[in-house]
Amino acid sequence: MNKLVDKEDYEEELVNILSYLKTQQPNLVKKLSAPFIPNIKETSRVAIIGQETRGWLSSLDSHLSINRSAKELIKLSAEKYESIQSLNKQGRSKFGWLTIYTRKILGEQPLWLNFYGFDYKRGAIKHIKNKEIIDAIANYSLKKLVKEIKIANAKVLIFAGQYDGNFPALKRELQIINTEVIESGKYPVEKWDDLFILRIPHPAARNIKNKNQIIKAKINLAKSL
């Protein structure tokens, strides 16, 4: 599929989570997106990490209803990911704007990742009214995200938005030993072992004072790290 990631890196875990989801509430898969699987073709020093991508590859049900396999879903997602990453204009996506804006400041292509592997009703999975299912998706997603960070050898992680209190779980999954607060506040900068963790507001968020200045300052900081 690409230089760094083969389908086997994702297939077993995806088969497991899909099998689990299909045994749950019958209407659930109609409200989940298809899985977000990035096409990591090369190492990347900087990764921008969103919460989820709304409506990624339509609904999960639309694929499962025609018996599309995990392998096929991985291929479709990787192809769509690559087509979006190659764009030089933002379109209507604020996150697309963020990726292009970051690339212009850094002079290098940032990796685009998501905290969650699915969305729910074109929004956050926290709105699923079943904690067991939320936990299963979060656990699958965290393991997938950590694998992607390690495969790409990303060292500067820029998190855009809110993450439902899952940072302690991410820290555990990364097996972080030492942490240091470099900048405190609502959008802090921390060092986790050899990783730099930067928080920024989501570019589509409303009513955030000096939002664009905060984003610009953090990206410029990422350039120096």
pLDDT tens series, the chain, 225 aa: 445 555 567 899 999 999 999 888 778 888 999 999 998 888 899 999 998 888 899 899 999 889 999 999 999 999 998 888 776 655 567 777 888 889 899 998 899 999 999 999 888 888 888 899 999 999 999 999 999 999 999 999 999 987 777 889 999 999 999 999 999 998 999 999 999 999 999 887 888 889 989 999 999 999 998
Spell 114-138 as b/e; 16+ CB within 10 A means b. Answer: bbbbbbbeeebbbebeeeebbebbb
The pTM (predicted TM-score) of the whole model is: 0.90
Token pair for 221: 């900081």
Report domain extents, the chain: 8-224
Query: Domain 8-224 is in which class?
Result: alpha beta
Contact call for residues 55 and 95 (beta carbons, < 8 A): no
Q: Which residues pair with 198 in a beta bridge?
A: 158, 189
